[in-house]
Structure 1
Amino acid sequence: MSRAPVVIKVGGALLEHPEAMAHLFASIAHIQTTRPVVLVHGGGPSVEQLMQALNLPSTKIDGLRVTPDEHMPYIGGALAGHVNKALCGQALSNKLTPVGLSLLDGNMVHCAPLDAKYGAVGRAQPGEPGLLLSILSQTMLPVISSIGADDTGRLLNINADQAAMVIAQLVGGDLLLLSNVEGVLDADKMLLTDLDEQTLATLYDNGVVTDGMRVKTDAALTAALALKRPVSIASWSASISAILHHETGTRIHPNALPNGERP
């Protein structure tokens, strides 16, 4: 198996599933004996809870959270603070050595604002890999929140799927998008193991893949095309080793599959 880093993206909803979180970090500890691992996370539920507690409006456009600059102290605190440190704490309990980071640390990711209608929401591209590679060389676990900054120092909220894709580009890693679903299911609720752009389009047209799963598959396809390698969608309760050996989950391929492999 490749010794390239494994980049794992999880949503902040993982914090609401303590058993799954403990299982994930135990699985990371196992795979880390043979391959470096990077964990990238979002934190939508924690942000939503904080916005409600502070009685602040929460609006989304095209699935992206509108983020006024005056909200960034709270959003940054939730993602780079509470969620990041909770994940680091769980890593410690599994005898791992976590290093809590944000996208701006070590200038590892360059960020710039998106359209002004989104506020302090940005896009990202790979920056300097030195810090991350140094941490990985010491068998530590980087735990990276999706908070970045532009070249003026303005803090930006970055979509966590995009953040994970950019980190995978930065280190040449295999990307796993993990959530509470085992992968992409067909019309009979059977797991589809391999998909490409054409088969996904058919699943969309037939109404088989919709809503949240379409968001996941769109993100995975975008990442697969950028990384020029398959990207896996799988459950955070699955063994990472099993995902990497293609025993579970769905792989989204950047190139067309042979006809015989089409679902």
Structure 2
Amino acid sequence: MDIAHTSKPRQNRPSRPVIVVKVGGAFIDAPDKAALFFDALKAQQQDHHIVLVHGGGNHVQRLMDELNLDTQKVDGLRVTPQEHLPYVVGALAGTANKSLVALARQSGMAAVGISLADGNMTTCQQFSNKHGAVGTVMSGNKKLLQTLCSDDFFPIVSSIGCSAHGALLNVNADDAAVAVASVLNARLLLLSDVEGVLDNQKMPIRKLNQADIQTLIEQGVIRDGMAVKVNAALNAAKQLGQPVTIGSWQAPNIISRSLDKTAGTTISPH
């Protein structure tokens, strides 16, 4: 059923709380992702603005394989040669972004698919020559995102940025989400296929601060990929000056439940 969107500008809308939700390639590939959009719609109806930021490394890699293009990583980061950039941009800002817009529409949301480059919302620069067209990102102008949110649109932002000289750049999606959250002074929710940080009894830990994290890493409770994820969330929380939540997009009502700390793990910046 086609959902009509009627604009209802309100002067007080930009001051409503904003939640930036970041998802990755596993979410884009999943068959059961519609529930997250219904949850986003529910949170929007409960007086929150929602912005989705996405990556899509799996999507890009699949396309590279289909085109028989070799890919490599340097220092843990995917290299994006200039000749690969049109395919990366097409996969992330095109196919992945618009498929999410379509699903959001099906769920009843008035989605707008954009990238980090739109509206000067962020500023990007090349990370290093050896990584090719890979960029670092900083927050920029909030006007576009604020305008969309104030009229109850649902921005879906791909992690393709642009330098001041007009060069397109592939940006790490976690870094992109932090920059967007910084632009809007928003809460950040980092979603993957893990429900949060688990204790030594495999039970979810609802709240962590820097001292807790250091202790659990030293004890080996938090290790490997989760240690990387938790430290990234802690750095994001410090940069934003407010808590960041790690959770699973598969968890029921993850957006609304993250606000009252009954889902996922909330990382405190203090």
Q: TM-score, normalised by structure 1?
A: 0.93
Q: Which amino acid aligns with 1:59?
A: Q
Whether 1:50 and 2:75 are equivalent positions in the alignment is no
Whether 2:78 is the aligned partner of 1:65: answer yes
Which residue does the alignment assign to 1:23? Answer: 35
Does residue 36 of structure 2 align to residue 41 of structure 1?
Answer: no
Superposed, 1:166-205 pairs within 5 Å as 166-205=179-218
Which aligned segments of 4 or more residues in structure 1 are displaced greater than 6 angstroms?
A: none
Question: What residue is the counterpart of 2:269 in the other structure?
Answer: 254
1:121-200 equivalent positions in 2, closer than 5 A: 121-200=134-213
Query: Could you tell which deviates more after superposition, 196-205 or 145-154?
Result: 196-205
Distance 2:125 2:142 in 1: 18
Per-residue CA distance 1:35-90 (angstroms, 9 max, x = gap): 11000000011011011111111212333211111111011111001110111011
What count of residue pairs does the alignment treat as equivalent? 253
Match of 2:127 among 114, 120, 123: 114
The alpha-carbon deviation at position 203 of structure 1 amounts to 2.4
Question: 2: CA distance between counterparts of 1:207 and 1:115?
Answer: 34
Paired amino acid for 1:158: V
- Distance in 1 of aligned mates of 2:152 and 2:55: 23
Encode CA deviations 1:151-191: one digit per residue, 9 max, x unaligned. 11111111100100010000011000011111011222111
For 1:118 and 1:253, the matched residues in 2 are separated by: 32
Tell me the residue number matched to 2:259.
244
Letter in 2 for 1:98: A
Rounded Cα–Cα distance in structure 2 between residues aligned with 1:215 and 1:74: 28
SS of the residue aligned with 1:18? coil
| Contact 1:162–1:219 (CA under 8 A) maintained in structure 2 | no
CA shift, 1:230, in A, is 0.6
Percent of aligned pairs with the same residue?
48
Which letter maps to 2:261? H
Pair 1:95-2:100 in alignment? no
Structure 2 residue corresponding to 1:223, chosen from 236, 240, 244: 236
- Alignment check: 8 A CA contact 1:80 1:147 kept: yes
| 2-structure distance, mates of 1:74, 1:23 | 29
Structure 1, 57-66 or 131-140: larger mean CA deviation: 57-66
Give the root-mean-square deviation of aligned CA atoms.
Answer: 1.3
Letter in 2 for 1:121: V
| Secondary structure of the corresponding residue to residue 263 of structure 2 | coil
Q: Distance in 1 between matches of 2:216 and 2:74?
A: 24
CA distance in 2, matches of 1:43, 1:254: 27
Gaps of 5+ in 1: 256-263
Q: Is 1:32–2:44 an aligned residue pair?
A: yes
For structure 2, the 5+ residue unaligned runs are 1-14
* TM-aligned CA deviation for residue 208 of structure 1: 2.3
Residue 75, structure 1, aligned to residue 102, structure 2:
no
